[in-house]
Chain A
Amino acid sequence: MGFKNFCFKKSLWVFHFGGASCNNCDIEILDCLTPRHDLERFGILLVGSIRHADVLLVNGSINMHDRERLIEIYNQAPKPILVVAIGACGCTGGFFTESYTFAGPVDKIIPVDVYVPGCPPKPEAIIAGISKLVMNS
């Protein structure tokens, strides 16, 4: 079943958690909703509460303060939840691994299903990441 058909059968609701990030990845995620890439035509929506979400997008290097929040969000998420780590900071911590507030990359805190590297990854890369996730799940 192609990605488009899958989405027409079941629209994915996405919750975005931004850690300590420079916001480049956040803006590129929002760019996916704007007319050029327009994810909403596939029924993919950004939702305001983790309890409504099918996919959790995490970006940013997580600092000590965010770590508790991330664990809380993951625990509140209805299972099964698919987790996508976006950007170099989300995948490995990026530039900030040596900082005194770094609390480990995302996969040391919660299990991750898909990594989308890039600094920031282009909206096309994010869409490719989500569609790969959906096709393999």
Chain B
Amino acid sequence: MEAELLIENFKEKFKSDILEIAVKNQKRISITVKPDSIINVAAFLYRKEGYRFIIASALHTKKGFEIHYHFSKDNLGLVLNIHVILDMDNPQIESLSNMFNASNWIEREMHELFGINFLNHPNQEKLISEGNWAEGVYPLRKEFK
């Protein structure tokens, strides 16, 4: 089946960067990778395999700052989550916005809501926080005891 083929191609190309693969069904797959590999993974999916970038979701958990990048292969109805876990104290990752424009605004928003730094982002300025909350405040961060 198509989804299995994709996973095989993926494993072959990124063997050392993959940390975990979770297959819920033919249309929902989640792959955890090392943060350093995100540019290569996104380039493989977008340029070579023709995936569409839907959005990215950030979370703050006990493991650190997690980001799920959601990609869609429209002709298969497949949503592929690329999951990365970032450092708790200094969360940062390469920006994808130099590759395509679809991630520009969401990376700015994640920066304002969580404080994650997107390296080499073309314009990491305020999107929604101006006048709404103070500098240095990250509303969606959680308190962990």
Contact = CB atoms under 8 A, between A and B. Distances in A.
B131 A64 contact: yes
A65 interface: yes
Highest count of chain A CB atoms <10 Å: which of B130, B131, B133, B139? B131
A70 to B, nearest CB: 12
A101 interface: yes
B139 A65 contact: no
Interface in B87-145: 130-133, 139
A100 B139 contact: yes
Contacts of A100: 133, 139
Contacts of A101: 132-133
Interface string A33-47: 000000000000000
A63 interface: yes
A68 B139 contact: no
Contacts of A65: 130-132
Nearest to A99: B139
Nearest to A64: B132
Contacts of B139: 100
A65 B133 CA distance: 9
A103 to B, nearest CB: 9
Nearest to A63: B132
B127 to A, nearest CB: 12
12 contacts: A63-B132, A64-B131, A64-B132, A64-B133, A65-B130, A65-B131, A65-B132, A68-B131, A100-B133, A100-B139, A101-B132, A101-B133
Interface of A: 63-65, 68, 100-101
Interface of B: 130-133, 139
